[in-house]
Amino acid sequence: MMPIDDHERNIDLIPASAFSFEELTDAYNHTRVDYMVPMPMNVNKLREYVDTYDVDMDASAVAVDGYEVLGLGMLGIRQGRAWITRLGVIRRNRRHGTGQAIAAHLVEQALQKGSDYIILEVIKDNTPAHNLFLKFGFKETRDLVVLRRPPGPPKIEAPAAEIIPMRYSGALDLLDRRVTTPSWLDEKESLINAGNLEAFHLTLADGSQGWMVYQNTVFQLGRIVIQTDKGDPINVGRALVHHLHSKHRAQDTKTENLPLTDPHLPVFRQMGYLEMFQRIEMVRSL
Amino acid sequence: MLYWFRNATRDLSKKSVGAKISKILIVEDNHQNALLMKRVLGARHHQIIHAEDGESGLQAAVEEIPDLILIDLGLPDIDGQTLVAFIKRVPELKNIPIVAVTAWPEETAREMAQAYGCDGFISKPINTRTFSDQIGEFITAD
């Protein structure tokens, strides 16, 4: 019997919308069984992912050979831009051009949807994926970091500050004032879709100012957007992160895609955040 | 590879390697991995309870009050870390030893497991020859 690795694959690409979420979840989890960063999903989580990140299920694709699922890839679509995500190939089907076929399909779909550019992230040290996207003309733009912090009050002191809690509408106003370029995961659209946003503005005794927007759910804090409007980002950042964890002592925190060059990153580390992994953001103009 | 932490909640002076029959909760979404762990530990006559995600894992922990909890850090609903953090907040559960069983790179696994209050971690894939003894390290005798 010929080993499956030697089979010529007949790759067909079918819109993800033709599959149930149960089938897609199963296919996705199979692509990630041996992944360097384990991130399985259940059906509800995949649905939430699709909604939060504006994944277009007609433009997303499942690669099949007959009845056998080989892999899948998803495409987020927003005004003038697209985002490739969840691209994966089931282990036994790798090295047969499946990933390349899915990537080419997603690029074509982005073009057809009128996108000016496509953005994506690859996990650092995932060399095969990184090389695949370089081959497709994607250029690296920046490194992003994924951080976690266990529950508990802040363990270091911060300067005294005047805190002004903001309502939901205030949080959205703050996001409009953001000076850094967000990744797809923390674009304003993603945050609005994710919901449960809270925010506060802070002023230090020396007049320094900054703000934070974040998501507050039962189990977890996350999706942190932090900005220093005036003053030293370390001092302002320390006060912001300190206030966050003084207010929410019982929750675990996970925040994704903080740029490695963000001036607040040292503050997160001081406050007990651990680096889980890094991503490389890549962009291709269309 | 097995690691346990010095600040572990268990009393190491009382450890009895594999000698005690214990109730062990395995929270693991991958059925093959779960089956393998069940078989290896079942051969030592431990009572095994399996939950395939964080929510059912928490429910099983509350209902069963196991002697030891093995948690995969990559779960499909809530992350393993979040589950550990939540378990540590429940008075009836907070002193149960928790071991992270994970495919994360070793350094990341060590940092995460220790920071979230696990008693140790075991890297995947598990070694079926040593797994029972590794688990025995976390089970205290009465």
Q: What is the pLDDT along chain A (286 residues), one digit of tens a residue?
A: 333 444 667 899 999 999 999 999 999 999 988 777 878 999 999 999 999 999 999 999 999 999 899 999 999 999 999 999 999 998 888 878 999 999 999 999 999 999 999 999 999 999 999 999 999 999 999 999 999 999 999 988 998 999 999 989 999 999 999 999 999 999 999 999 999 999 999 999 999 999 999 999 988 999 999 999 999 999 999 999 999 999 999 999 999 999 999 999 999 999 999 999 999 999 999 9
Report the complex ipTM: 0.82
A141: left (phi over 0), alpha (psi -120 to 50) or beta: alpha
- In sequence order, which ranges of A160-258 are alpha helices (DSSP H)? 168-176, 188-194, 233-247
- Which of A36, A250, A252 comes nearest B81 by C-beta? A252
For tokens 């998803």, the residue is: A74
Q: How far apart are CA B96 and CA B87, in angstroms?
A: 9
* Residue (of A122, A118, A121) closest to A107 by Cα position: A118
Mutation target among A32, A147, A148 for the B interface, most CBs of B within 10 A: A148
Q: Which of B33, B79, B94 to mutate to test the interface with A (most CBs of A within 10 A)?
A: B79
B72 touches chain A (CB under 8 A): yes
**Counting Cβ atoms within 10 Å, is residue A49 exposed (0-12), middle (13-18) or buried (19+)?**
middle
- As a whole number of angstroms, the distance between CA A252 and CA A279 comes to 21
What are residue A45's phi and psi, to 5 degrees?
-70, -40
The token duo for A211 is 């703000």
3-state secondary structure of B124: coil
Which DSSP state fits B128?
T
Q: Which residue has the tokens 């697209």?
A: A82
Residue of A nearest to B28 (CA): A40
Euclidean distance between CA atoms B127 and B107, whole angstroms: 19
Give the Cα separation of A44 and A203 in Å (integer): 40
Nearest CA in chain B to A275: B108
Whether the per-residue pLDDT at B2 is higher than 70: the answer is no
Q: Which chain B residue is nearest to residue A41, measuring alpha carbons?
A: B76
Residue A91 has φ and ψ, to the nearest 5°, of -45, -50
CB A164 within 8 A of CB A201: yes
How does pLDDT run across B21-65, given as a tens digit for each residue? Answer: 799 999 999 999 999 999 999 998 899 999 999 999 999 999 999
Quote the CA–CA distance of A147 and B33 in Å, as a whole number. 27
Q: Of B30, B78, B111, which is closest to A274 when you measure between CB atoms?
A: B111
> What single-letter amino acid sits at A122?
V
CA of B9 to nearest chain A CA: how many angstroms apart?
Answer: 17
SS3 B94: coil
Structure tokens given for B75:
């779960």
Asked if B81 has any chain A CB less than 8 Å from its own CB, the reply is yes
Other CB atoms within 10 A of residue A285 CB = 10
Q: What is the pLDDT of residue A95?
A: 79
Q: Which residue bears the tokens 């990341």?
A: B108
The helix or strand, by DSSP H or E, that contains position A132, with its residue range, turns out to be helix A127-135
Interchain CB distance below 8 Å, A254 and B108: no
Helix H segments across A163-226? 168-176, 188-194
